[in-house]
Amino acid sequence: MRILVDYRPALRERTGVGEFVHELVKALAGHAERDRNDDIAIFTSSWKDRPAAGLASELPSVRIHDARIPVRVLVWSWNRMQWPPIEWLAGSHDVVHSQSPLLIPSSGAAQVVTIHDLDFLRHADQLSAEIRRDYPALARSHAARAHGVIVSSQYAAGEVTRELQLDPTRVHVCPPGRPAWADDVRRRRASSPNRKHILFMGTLSLRKNVGTLLEAYARLREIKPDAPPLVLAGHRTPASSRWEARCEEPPLKGHVTITGYVESARKIDLYKDAAMLVLPSYEEGFGLPVLEAMACGVPVIVSSRGSLPEVVGGAAAPIDPDDAPGFTRAMQAILDGDAADAGARGVTQAARYSWDACAAAARRAYQSAIEVRLRGSRSGETGS
C-alpha cells in the first residue's frame, strides 16, 4: 500500500495534532519496515518553514515531499477549488490521509480525513480565521465524500457519526499511543519523589475550562497554604487573557505560572515533577496529555465530559466540569496521600494504548477507504 500522510501540523510546533501525526508516521514506518509491504510518504508545505533537520534520519524509510508553497494559498485553493491534485505535488499514492476534516484533492487515491473533535462547529468564533472560514461551511460535505474518517476515541466516533450524518462503517477509531519516553520519566519520578507543581497541559482555549481550575486551586490554597504551585503549560489564546489577569491577583498571584507553548524536553520535565495533572475540559476528542501523564505515573484528575472518562477508565473518578469544589477535593486527596495508588492506576490504564496499535488501526482504515473508493468507481461515483 502506498500511503501519503499530511505532515503539516507537525512541521513547526507539535501540539496535540502534530504529536499525533508524527508518532503515527513513525509507527506506520515501523510496520512497513517489518512487513515490507507499504510505502510511506509525508507531505509538508510552507513558504519559509522546512522539515526539521533530523527528520529524515528519524524517519529513514519515509519519503518526504516538501513543497515550498505558502500554506495559506494552498489551503484556500484546496478547500475552495479542490485544486491542485496532490499528485502534482507528491506523486501517486493509494491513499491520502488529511489531518483535518477537509479533503486533500486527489485524482486517483482514496481520501481519508481526520476529525479529532467538533469544536469547529460548536465554537468556531474561538478558532483561527482559516478554520472559521472553511471548517463549518465545508466539513460536512468533505466528510461525506471522504472514503474514510479517522477519529481518536469511541466518543468522537459517536459524535462525528451523529452530527455529520456519516455511514458508521466509514468512521474508524485510531487512539493515540503512550509516549516512548514515559518509562524513563516514571523511573526518574521514582528516584526523585519531590513533586514541585500541579500541572495543566493544553492550549488555553475556552473549552479547556481553565477558569474552574483556577477557582478550584484558589480554594485548595485556602485549605492547604503549602500546596504546590500551579503550572498552566500551553499556548495562550485571546480567551486566556482573562485567566492571565486573574493569576496576577490574590490569592493566585505568585502561585500560578503560565508557560506558553512548551517544547518536548520541557514537557517531559514538567511531567517528571508534577504532583498531578488536572484537565477540567468541557470537550475533548481524546485528551493526549491525560494519556501522557498516566503513562508517566502522574495522577490525573479529569472532567466528566467528552472522551476523558473513556481515556482514564478506572484510573480516576471524573468530575463535573463546573464543580470547582469537587476538583479541590480531588487535588487535596492526592496531596494527602492518594498519589501512589492513583499513579499506579494510571500506568495500568495507559498500557492499553500503543502507537503500534494506532498504526495498525490506521492501516485498516486505509485499506477500507481503498475498497470504498473501488466500489464507488465501479458504481460510477466520483470523488474530489
**pLDDT, tens digit, 9 for 90 and up, residues 80-128:** 899 999 999 999 999 999 999 999 999 999 999 999 998 877 765 656 6
Report whether pLDDT(273) > 60: yes
Q: What letter represents residue 57's amino acid? A: S
Give whichever of 193-207, 251-265, 299-313 has the largest mean pLDDT: 299-313
- The closest alpha carbon to 347, from 196, 154, 186, 153, belongs to 186
What is the structure's pLDDT at 381? 60
Fold agreement (2-177+354-379, 182-350):
yes
Percentage of the residues of the chain whose pLDDT score is greater than 90: 81
Q: So what's the pLDDT on residue 53? A: 87
Q: How confident is the model at residue 290 (pLDDT cuts 50, 70, 90)?
A: very high
Cell readout for 92 is 501517486
CA 147 to chain centre: 22
What are phi and psi for residue 5, nearest 5 degrees? -115, 130
- Mean pLDDT on 6-20: 87
pLDDT at 127: 61
Q: To the nearest whole number, what is the mean pLDDT of the chain?
A: 93
**pLDDT score, position 123:** 65
pLDDT of residue 15: 76
**pTM as predicted:** 0.93
Residue 78 grid coordinates: 484546496
The pLDDT value given to residue 2:
97
Q: For domain 2-177+354-379, say whether CATH 3.40.50.2000 is its number.
A: yes
Check whether 382 has a pLDDT greater than 90: no
pLDDT value of position 119: 83
The predicted structure's pLDDT at residue 41: 97
Residue-wise pLDDT for 295-311, tens only, equals 999 999 999 999 999 99
Of 153, 6, 112, nearest to 372 by C-alpha is 112
pLDDT tens digits, one per residue of 352-380: 999 999 999 999 999 999 999 999 876 66
If pLDDT is split at 50, 70 and 90, which confidence band does 238 have?
Answer: confident
Could you tell me the residue ranges of all domains in the chain?
A: 2-177+354-379, 182-350
CATH 3.40.50.720 fits 182-350, yes or no: no
